[in-house]
C-alpha cells in the first residue's frame, strides 16, 4: 500500500514538469501540475474539504476558482506547467482564490474533490483543463471580489431514473405496479427540482418503456451528470415490512464496475486519461471511483437525514450497499432509493396517492438541494454494509 500511495502521488506530474509550493500551517498546502499534450491537471492539496466555485472560466486568459472557507496562509505563487503559465493563491473575503494564468486558450473540463485515502492524508481539489485551440486574450483584468451569477450551463445536472418500465413491471402490490409508481415519482421529483431554478434535470424514461440497465448508466455518464438517482419500490414476503432505504455501490460492486469499464481497448478515453501507461490509468480510475463512492455515500446520508426528518418510515438498516447495475458508473455519484414497500398496504397507499407522493419527492428534492448547497459538510466514507435482505 505504501508503494501504491507513492505511485498515486507521482501520477499527477508524470507527463510533465511539476510546480510545487508549500504553505506553512495553512489550509492550502500545495499546488501541483501534471501536463499531457492538450490537457493539464491541477491538484490543490488542502487540509480540509472545500466547496469550489468558478469565478473566471478562462475567457480572459485566466481561470480563477474560489475555495470557500479555506485560508491561503502566506499565499502561494509560482510557475505552472502545460496549459498553465503561472499561478497564485490569494485571499478573498472568507475564501481563497486559485488564479491560473493560461499559456493558451483553455477551459475547465471537470473538477472534483478527492478525500484522504490510499495513503494520502489530505484532501485534493482537482481541476482538469482542456485546450480550446483559441488564443489567450490579451487583456488580463484582476479577478472580481465576488462571483458572478452562475450561468445556466453551470447548474448541476440531475439524472432521475424511474425503475423498470415496459415489459418489466417490477414488483406488484395489491393494486399497483412498481413501474407505474416509479415513473410518477420521477416526474414529481423533476418538477420539484426544476421549480427551484437551480438544477437541470434529465429522465432516463418519461413513459412506459423499458430502458436497459447499462443504458441508464450511459445516459448519466454521457450527459456528464452531477448526480444519478434511481427510484424503486421494494417488495417483501411479509406484508408488515415497510420503510424506505438507500443503496450505494458496494466494494464488490466497485470491483465489478472496474472490470466492466476496462473491458474495451479505449476505456481511458472515456475518463480523459492519458492512455500512455495502462497501470497509471488504472490507478487514476481507482482514485476517481473511490471519490465517486464517497460522494455517493455522502449524498445517501444527507438524503436519509431528510427522509427521517420528514417522518418517512425507514428500514432499521436504511443505508445499504450492493453491486446494482445502475450504480456502476465510476465517475457519477449514484444512489438507488427504495421509496417504500409496495407489498405493504400503508406504503402502497403513500406511493399511489398523488399528494403523499409529491410530499415524498419534495423531501428528496430538499435533500438534493442540501447536498449541492452545502458540499463542505463532513465527508462520509462509502458504506461497508452488505445487502443481505435484513430489514
Which cell goes with 271?
A: 475518463
**What pLDDT, on a 0 to 100 scale, did the predictor assign at position 284?**
74
| Region 217-243 average pLDDT | 95
Residue 347 confidence (pLDDT):
97
The arithmetic mean of pLDDT across residues 126-154, rounded, is 56
Q: Is 198 exposed, middle or buried (0-12, 13-18, 19+ CB in 10 A)?
A: middle
Q: How confident is the model at residue 280 (pLDDT cuts 50, 70, 90)?
A: low
> What DSSP character marks residue 149?
P
Residues 6+ apart with CB under 8 A from 92: 66, 143, 145
Q: What is the mean pLDDT of residues 43-60?
A: 83
Section 205-218 average pLDDT: 94
Share of the chain above pLDDT 70, in %: 77
Measured from the Cβ of residue 345, the count of other Cβ atoms closer than 10 Å reads 14
Model confidence band, residue 265 (pLDDT cutoffs 50, 70, 90): low
Q: Provide mean pLDDT across the span 305-309.
A: 94
As to burial, measured by CB atoms within 10 angstroms (0-12 exposed, 13-18 middle, 19+ buried), residue 328 is buried
Residue with cell 437551480: 198
Is a pLDDT exceeding 50 seen at residue 291? Answer: yes
Q: What is the pLDDT of residue 47?
A: 82
What confidence tier does 1 reach under pLDDT thresholds 50, 70, 90?
Answer: very low
Which pLDDT score, from 0 to 100, does residue 30 have?
Answer: 82
Residue 163 has pLDDT above 90, yes or no: yes
Residue 229: band (very low, low, confident or very high) from pLDDT cuts 50, 70, 90 = very high
Say whether pLDDT at 377 is over 50. no
Q: What is the mean pLDDT of residues 329-350?
A: 95
Ranked by mean pLDDT, which of 249-263, 274-288, 333-347, 370-384 comes out on top? 333-347
Which has more pLDDT, 210 or 67?
Answer: 210
In this predicted structure, the answer to whether residue 368 has a pLDDT above a threshold of 80 is yes
What is d(CA 154, CA 50) in angstroms, rounded to the nearest whole number?
18
Task: State residue 131's pLDDT score.
Answer: 86
> In this structure, are residues 160 and 189 in contact, taking their beta carbons and an 8 Å threshold?
yes
Average pLDDT score, the chain: 80
The arithmetic mean of pLDDT across residues 367-372, rounded, is 94
pLDDT at 277: 62
The pLDDT of residue 266: 62
95 pairs with which residues across the strands?
Answer: 68, 92
Check whether 353 has a pLDDT greater than 90. yes
Averaged pLDDT, 54-79: 80
Q: Where is average pLDDT lowest: 6-15, 73-82, 112-121, 300-309?
A: 6-15
DSSP structural state of residue 279: H
Would you say the pTM of this structure is higher than 0.75?
no
Give the pLDDT score at 52: 85
Q: What is the mean pLDDT of residues 239-264?
A: 85
Nine cell digits for residue 122:
489530505
Question: Residue by residue, what is the 3-state secondary structure of 182-245?
Answer: HHHHHHHHHHHHHHHCCCEEEECCCCCCCCCHHHHHHHHHHCCCCEEEEEEEECCCCCCCCCEE
Banded pLDDT at 157 (limits 50, 70, 90): very high
82-117 per-position pLDDT tens digit: 888 888 888 776 778 888 988 888 888 888 888 887
Q: How many residues are there in the chain? A: 391
Among 11, 135, 143, residue whose Cα is nearest residue 87: 143
Residue 27 has a pLDDT of: 78
The pLDDT value recorded for residue 138 is: 43
Amino acid at each position: 500500500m505504501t508503494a501504491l500511495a507513492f505511485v498515486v502521488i507521482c501520477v499527477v506530474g508524470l507527463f510533465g514538469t511539476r510546480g510545487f509550493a508549500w504553505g506553512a500551517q495553512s489550509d492550502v498546502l500545495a499546488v501541483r501540475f501534471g501536463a499531457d499534450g492538450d490537457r493539464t491537471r491541477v491538484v490543490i492539496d488542502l487540509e480540509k474539504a472545500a466547496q469550489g466555485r468558478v469565478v473566471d472560466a478562462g475567457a480572459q486568459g485566466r481561470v480563477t476558482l474560489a475555495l470557500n472557507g479555506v485560508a491561503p496562509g502566506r499565499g502561494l505563487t509560482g510557475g505552472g506547467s502545460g496549459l498553465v503559465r503561472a499561478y497564485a493563491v490569494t485571499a478573498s473575503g472568507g475564501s481563497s482564490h486559485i488564479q491560473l494564468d493560461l499559456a493558451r486558450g483553455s477551459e475547465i473540463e471537470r473538477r472534483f474533490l478527492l478525500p484522504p485515502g490510499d495513503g494520502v492524508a489530505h484532501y485534493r481539489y482537482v481541476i482538469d483543463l482542456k485546450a480550446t485551440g483559441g488564443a489567450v486574450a490579451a487583456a488580463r483584468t484582476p479577478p472580481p471580489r465576488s462571483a458572478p451569477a452562475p450561468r445556466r450551463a453551470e447548474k448541476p445536472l440531475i439524472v432521475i431514473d424511474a425503475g423498470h418500465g415496459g415489459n418489466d413491471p417490477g414488483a406488484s402490490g395489491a393494486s399497483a405496479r412498481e413501474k407505474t409508481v416509479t415513473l410518477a415519482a420521477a416526474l414529481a421529483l423533476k418538477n420539484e427540482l426544476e421549480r427551484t431554478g437551480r438544477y437541470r434535470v434529465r429522465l432516463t424514461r418519461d413513459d412506459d418503456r423499458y430502458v436497459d440497465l447499462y443504458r441508464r448508466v450511459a445516459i448519466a455518464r454521457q450527459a456528464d451528470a452531477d448526480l444519478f438517482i434511481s427510484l424503486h419500490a421494494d417488495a417483501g414476503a411479509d406484508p408488515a415490512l415497510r420503510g424506505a432505504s438507500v443503496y450505494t455501490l458496494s466494494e464488490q460492486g466497485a470491483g465489478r464496475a472496474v472490470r466492466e469499464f476496462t473491458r474495451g481497448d479505449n476505456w481511458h478515453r472515456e475518463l480523459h486519461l492519458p492512455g500512455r501507461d495502462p497501470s497509471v490509468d488504472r490507478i487514476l480510475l481507482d482514485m476517481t471511483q473511490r471519490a465517486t463512492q464517497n460522494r455517493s455515500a455522502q449524498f445517501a446520508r444527507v438524503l436519509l437525514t431528510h427522509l427521517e426528518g420528514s417522518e418517512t418510515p425507514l428500514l432499521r438498516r436504511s443505508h445499504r450497499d450492493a453491486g446494482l447495475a445502475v450504480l456502476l458508473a465510476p465517475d457519477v455519484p449514484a444512489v438507488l432509493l427504495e421509496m417504500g414497500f409496495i407489498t405493504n398496504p400503508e406504503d402502497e397507499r403513500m406511493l399511489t396517492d398523488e399528494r403523499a407522493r409529491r410530499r415524498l419527492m419534495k423531501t428528496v428534492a430538499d435533500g438534493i438541494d442540501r447536498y449541492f448547497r452545502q458540499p463542505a459538510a463532513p465527508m462520509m466514507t462509502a458504506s461497508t454494509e452488505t445487502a443481505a435482505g435484513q430489514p
